[in-house]
Amino acid sequence: MTPTETFDARFVATDLEVRYHGSDPKGHPAFAIDRLELQPGHSLALVGESGSGKTTAIRTLLGLVRPTRGTVTWAGRSVAAMRGAELRTFRTAVQLIPQDVDGALDPRQTIGSAIAEGWRAGGRKGLRPSEDQTAVVRRLLDEVGLPASVAARHPHEVSGGQRQRAIIARALAVGPRILLLDEPTSGLDATVAVRILELIERLRGERGLGTLLISHDLGVVSRLCPRTVVLYRGEVVESGPTARLLLRPRHPYTAALRRSVPELGVPFRVPLLPSGSAAAINPMVGCRYGPRCAYALAGPCSTRQELTGVDEAATVRCARAGDLGAIDPLSEAPLLRT
């Protein structure tokens, strides 16, 4: 049951740009976005491969990296300006489930102790009458589907999937409103991954959490998030309802992502090779995806692309979006392979 909000529990990033210290100021920022908004009860996916800026995005949202421009606010207050108790409140409201599950737990601490520590740090939320710390830990373990015996174990004594669940339990112990999940299923066996996804779905519903999911796995994304933002080399190339992005993407990169996902019973897709014009595109000046794009044309794609609205729910950054329309990712490209 969602407690009534006494404040606007919104997580907003505006006009954000992040450049790393020492990087070329004329080059592309590591990550840039006009606006990103997240609320309890809502879900958003950030899809991208390596170099897309998704890691930078998460770290900036968490306040671990200071943006070069723009602000990240929580409940109307700028995260960068937070200190002390206010920062701690933010930390307990927004929790990260990191990609590196193995390194995220202190190897010398038992899992029960780690969860208890998180619970105390979060202000001992959710303590029921006649319950003590041990009971709370046991309840959280049960909520993520772990047996109580795990509490006495160390991280290396349990399986990868169980470590993942333990980290989720600790994050929940803090009592967050928003969960950031960084590649929650990478490295997990397919059957284990399915169960983790089920767990996340259930917890999200029961606790009314907002979730930001980072993944390159479109299967995971399609299951958990109704909205998706696609990143390529630090910028948003397309955003909109997930189902639409998967069925009728408007950006060639989204189509390439969709096309590359191996599916049972579907003959293997030959990835599209860039057309002859693609070689002529300079990504520093024109479209960043140009050199890899099967649909690139020397003219329109050689200038900086802007993000335009397709309708009120979707945006795309492609000079050819108008004439390409929606791409069917599962058909052959209109352009020939060279």
Partner 1 sequence: MNDVTMNDTTMNDTTINATPTKDPVAPLLAVRELTVEIGGVTLLDIDELETDRAEIVGLVGESGAGKSLLQAAILGLLPVSARVTGSIRFDGIEIVGASRRTMHEVRGGRIAVVLQAARAALTPTLRSDEWIDRALSLHDVPKAERAVRLAHALDAVRLDPRLLHRYPHQLSGGEAQRVSIALAVALRAELVLADEATSALDVTVQAEVAELFRELRASEGTAFLLVSHDLALVAGLAHRINIIERGRIVEHGGPEILEHPADPVTQALVAAKPALPRADATAA
Partner 2 sequence: MTAADRASDEGQGWAVWLRSAGRYIREHPGLIVSLVIIGSLLATALLAPWIAPFPNDAGTATNLLATLQPPGGEHPLGTDLVGRDVLSRVLFGTWSSVGTSLLVIAASLAIGVPIGLFSGAVGGWVDEILMRVVDIFLAFPSLLLALAIGAALGPSLEHAAIAIVVAWWPWYARLMRGEAAAIRGRAFIESGRLLGLGQVRLATRHILPNAAGPVVVQASLDLGGVILTLAGLSFLGLGARDPVPEWGLMVEQGRSLFQTHPWVAIVPGAAIMLAALAFTLLGEGLRERLDPKGATRR
CB of 87 to partner 2, least distance (A): 8
Gap between the Cα atoms of 218 and 102, Å rounded: 24
**What are 148's two structure tokens?**
């109580």
Question: Which residue from 108, 266, 306, 311 is in contact with partner 2, where contact means CB under 8 A?
Answer: 108
Site for partner 2 in 54-83 (CB under 8 A): 62, 64
How far CA 328 is from CA of 202, 247, 310, in Å, comes to 32, 7, 17
Token pair, residue 61, equals 């949202």
CA–CA dist 238, 250 (Å, integer): 8
Residues pairing with 238 in the sheet: 230, 316
The answer to the question of residue 126 lying near partner 2 (CB under 8 A) is no
Per-position x/- string for 33-62, each x denoting binding to partner 1 as judged by CB under 8 A, each - no binding: ----------------xx------------
Strand pairing of 77-78 and 314-316?
A: unpaired
Least distance to partner 1, CB of residue 17, Å? 24
Under 8 Å between Cβ of 185 and 221:
no
Shortest spacing between CB 5 and partner 2, in angstroms: 20
| Contacts with 115 (C-beta within 8 Å, 6 or more apart), sequence order | 137, 140, 141, 151, 166, 169, 170, 173
Length of the chain: 338
> What does the per-residue mask of binding to partner 1 show for 110-149, with x meaning CB under 8 A?
----------------------------------------
Residue 74 vs 232, nearer CB to partner 2: 74
Q: Write each residue from 235 to 254 as x if it is in contact with partner 1 (CB under 8 A), else as -, in one continuous string.
A: --------x--xxx------
Contacts with partner 2: how many residues (CB under 8 A)?
Answer: 23
- Shortest Cβ distance from residue 262 to partner 1 (Å)? 4
The one of partner 1, partner 2, none whose footprint includes residue 190, by CB under 5 to 8 A per kind, is: partner 1
Piece in contact with partner 1 (CB under 8 A), picked from 22-30, 92-100, 267-275, 295-303: 267-275
Q: Which amino acid is at 63?
A: G
80 binds partner 1 (CB under 8 A): no
Using only C-alpha atoms, the chain has a radius of gyration, in whole angstroms, of 22
Give how many residues touch partner 1 by CB under 8 A: 37
Count how many Cα atoms sit within 13 Å of the Cα of residue 70 in the half-sphere of its side chain.
22
Instruction: Classify residue 157 by its DSSP letter.
Output: G
104 lines the binding site for partner 2 (CB under 8 A): yes
In DSSP notation, 1-36 reads -PPPPSS---EEEEEEEE--TTS-TTS--SEEEEEE
Contact code string over 16-55 relative to partner 2, x by CB under 8 A? ----------------------------------------
| Interface with partner 1 (CB under 8 A), residue from 62, 87, 194, 298 | 194
By CB under 8 A, is residue 334 in contact with partner 1?
no
Q: Do 154 and 100 contact (CB within 8 A), yes or no?
A: no
Residue type at 303?
A: T
Q: Which of 18, 32, 67 is nearest to 306 (CA)?
A: 32
Q: Are 318 and 287 contacting, i.e. CB atoms less than 8 angstroms apart?
A: yes
Q: Which does 49 bind (CB under 5 to 8 A by kind): partner 2, partner 1, none?
A: partner 1
122 binds, among partner 2, partner 1, none (CB under 5 to 8 A by kind): partner 2
Interface segment toward partner 1; rule CB under 8 A; list 90-98, 140-148, 189-197, 294-302: 189-197
- Of partner 2, partner 1, none, which one sits near residue 117, judging by CB under 5 to 8 A according to partner kind? partner 2
Q: Give me the residues that bind partner 1 (CB under 8 A), please.
A: 49-50, 160, 189-194, 216-219, 222-223, 243, 246-248, 256-271, 328, 330
